[in-house]
Amino acid sequence: MNTASTIPAEMDPGPSPSATWRGVGLLVITLFAYYPILDAGFVWNDDDLSTILALIDQGGLSAVWFSSEAFNYWPMTWTSYWLEHQVFGTDPATGLPDPTSYHVVNVLCHAMACLLLWRVLARLEVPGAWLIAAVFAVHPVNVESVAWITQRKNVLAMLFYLVALNQFLKFEISNRRWHYQTALGAFLLAMLSKGAVVAMPLVLLLLAWWKNGRVTRTDLFRAIPFLVVAVVMSGVEIWFQQVRAIGGETIRDAGVAERLMATGPVAWFYLHKTLLPIELSFVYPLWTFDTTRISQWLPLCGGVTVLGTLAWATRAGLNRGPLAAVLYTLSSLGPVLGLVDIYFFRYSLVADHYQYIAMPGLLALFVGGATHLARARGIDRLTRRTASVAVVAVLAGLTWQQVGIYRSPQQLWKDTLAKNPSCWLAHNQLANLVSTRSQFDDARQHYLTALELIEHQFGAGHVETARVHNNLGVLLGQASRDSTDPTLMPIAITHLEKACRIAPQRGEYVESLAGVLKERGRNDRAISHLTRHVGRQPADRSAWLMLASCLEEVGRANEAARARERARRQIPVDNRPDVPVSSPR
Residue 344 and residue 277 in one domain: yes
In one-letter notation, the amino acid at residue 197 is V
Residue 173 CB neighbour total at 10 angstroms: 16
Strands in 81-168 per DSSP E? none
CB-CB contact of 40 with 61 (8 Å): no
Rounded to whole angstroms, the Cα distance separating 397 from 392 reads 9
Domain that holds residue 418: 410-568
**Amino acid in the structure at residue 457:** Q
Q: Are 369 and 420 part of one and the same domain?
A: no
**Do 454 and 394 lie in a common domain?**
no
For residue 129, is it within any domain? yes
- Tell me if 471 sits within 8 A of 455, measured CB to CB: no
Residue 28, Cα to own-chain centre: how many angstroms? 26
**Do 354 and 438 share a domain, yes or no?**
no
Do residue 302 and residue 192 come from a single domain? Answer: yes
**H-run or E-run covering 108:** helix 99-123
Residue 5 included in any domain: no
Decide: 412 and 43 in contact? Cβ < 8 Å.
yes
The overall pTM is greater than 0.85: yes
Do both 372 and 520 map to the same domain?
A: no
Q: DSSP assignment, residue 93? A: T
Same domain, 497 and 392: no
Question: Measured between alpha carbons, how far is residue 184 from residues 128, 200, 223 in Å?
Answer: 28, 10, 10
Sequence-separated (6 or more) residues with CB below 8 Å from residue 446: 427, 428, 430, 431
Q: Do 345 and 483 fall into the same domain?
A: no
420 domain-assigned: yes
Q: Is residue 10 part of a domain?
A: no
Are 395 and 448 found together in one domain?
no
404 and 446 assigned to the same domain:
no
Q: What is the crossing angle of helices 440-458 and 424-432, to 10°?
A: 150
Residues 78 and 189 in one domain: yes
Beta carbons within 10 angstroms of residue 51's beta carbon: 17
How many structural domains are present in the chain?
Answer: 2
Shared-domain flag, residues 319 and 421: no
- Cβ proximity of 70 and 78 under 8 Å: yes
CA-to-CA dists, residue 396 to 26, 76, 135, 275, angstroms: 12, 30, 9, 14
Distance (Å, whole) CA 551 – CA 377 = 84
Residue 121 lies in a domain: yes
Q: What is the CATH classification number for the domain harbouring 480? A: 1.25.40.10
Rounded to 10 deg, the angle between the 463-481 and 440-458 helix axes is 160
How does pLDDT run along the chain (585 residues), one tens digit per residue?
444 434 444 345 455 778 889 999 999 999 999 999 999 999 998 878 888 988 898 889 999 999 888 888 999 999 999 999 999 888 776 677 889 999 999 999 999 999 999 999 999 999 999 999 999 999 999 999 999 999 999 999 999 999 999 999 999 999 999 999 999 999 999 999 999 999 999 999 999 999 999 999 999 999 999 999 999 999 998 888 777 766 666 678 888 999 999 999 999 999 999 999 999 999 999 999 999 999 999 999 999 999 999 999 999 888 899 999 999 999 999 999 988 888 889 899 999 999 999 999 999 999 999 999 999 999 999 999 999 999 999 999 999 999 999 999 999 999 999 999 999 999 999 999 886 667 888 999 999 999 999 998 888 788 889 999 999 999 998 888 877 778 888 999 999 999 999 988 888 999 999 989 988 888 889 999 999 998 888 888 888 988 998 998 888 889 989 988 888 887 554 433 343 333 344
